[in-house]
Chain A
């Protein structure tokens, strides 16, 4: 099986159409399961009561916002380095979903901050660096939209995406590097989590749901981008012949 042929937008288009339901359906199911575990199984927190349940949407949104940015930068970098059209289209497609999740993490964080910290917003290292991440997404989307030639737009976007990657470790380690109002990491790869098992499961299921949702939406959008760019290319050829 020659997987390389799927680097062509023309070949990838039907493949993406076939695999979208394999991500969209489990995403819908896992959203339901995650919310059920989060609201019906997980107990109230001994300090925050039920306010902590915002975590089940806030943490997956924040993780996805960061992870999708890295993925977007990798695709944009591949598109730039190898002149791979599909990789650049994937970067464009990911940017909107990444921006949506970053915005969601900021809004849900504000909703969580008010009852626990007494304020909607502080210019704290974690929140400020996450806001910068949202601006980077918006800058990437705006830059690509403002340039008519898709190849030039992809190159310009790739530079911005790659430079902006430096912000992701800053977000992640900000709670360790600076004194912040935001709490430190609750879940670490090499250490036992400090939250109740049912809370952890609810969060991980919601994370999986958000991840599957992102893949489905990105694939739907990249199919739109493929057709739009090919339409524009064909019009350009027709206009110049």
Chain B
């Protein structure tokens, strides 16, 4: 096992910057998804909404 040099041999800005962007993108997706779920209150509404629908696979 090699302990990585945090400065990444002088490339730290680029390496950590790319991973920070990846983290931000994933967090953004999860937060917007969570917001979408909550805003629709679907956890409570879902059974009610789906109860009135048919099992049709086509519109």
Q: Would you call A231 and B18 a contact (CB within 8 A)?
A: no
| Cβ contact within 8 Å between B2 and A43 | yes
Number of interface residues of A (CB under 8 A): 52
Q: A49-B9, A217-B29 are in contact. Are A5 and B45 (CB under 8 A)?
A: no
Within 8 A of B (CB), among A76-101: 82-86, 96-97, 100
Within 8 A of A (CB), among B41-55: 42, 45-46, 49-50, 52-55
| Main SS class of interface, A | helix
- Nearest Cβ in chain B — how far from A108, in angstroms? 4
Which of chain B's residues have a CB closer than 8 A to the CB of A151? 59
Interface members, chain B 20-59 (any A CB < 8 Å): 21-22, 25-26, 28-30, 33, 36-37, 40, 42, 45-46, 49-50, 52-59
Contact check: which of B4, B33, B42, B49 meets A39 at CB < 8 Å? B4
Task: Give every chain A residue within 8 A of B30 (Cβ-Cβ).
Answer: 217
Stretch of A111-119, A168-176, A177-185 contacting B (4+ beta carbons < 8 Å): A111-119
Of all chain B residues, which has the CB nearest A221?
Answer: B33
Residues of A within 8 A of B57 (CB): 4, 7-8, 84-86
Whether B58 pairs with A82 at a CB distance below 8 angstroms is yes
A116 to chain B, nearest CB (A): 9
> Which one of A52-60, A67-75, A129-137, A138-146 is at the interface?
A52-60
Contact of B40 (CB < 8 Å), options: A51, A57, A107, A228: A228
In the complex, what's the smallest C-beta–C-beta distance from B28 to chain A, in angstroms? 8
Residue of A nearest to B50 (CB): A10
Q: Decide if A100 touches B25 in the complex (CB within 8 Å).
A: yes
Asked if A224 is at the interface of the complex by the 8 Å CB criterion, the answer is: yes
Contact A5 B50 (CB under 8 A): no
Give Cα A76 to B52, complex, Å.
26
How many residue pairs link A and B with beta carbons under 8 A? The number is 120
Residues of A within 8 A of B46 (CB): 13, 223, 227
Contact status A230-B15, CB under 8 Å? no
Asked whether A224 and B58 contact (CB < 8 A) given A40-B1, A40-B2, the answer is no
Chain A contacts to B: CB under 8 angstroms: 4-5, 7-11, 13, 39-41, 43-44, 49-51, 53-54, 57-58, 61, 82-86, 96-97, 100, 103-104, 107-108, 111-112, 114-115, 150-151, 213, 217, 220-221, 223-224, 226-228, 230-231, 233-234
What are the 8 closest A-B residue pairs judged by CB atoms, nearest first? Answer: A50-B8, A111-B18, A51-B11, A49-B9, A108-B18, A7-B57, A83-B58, A227-B42
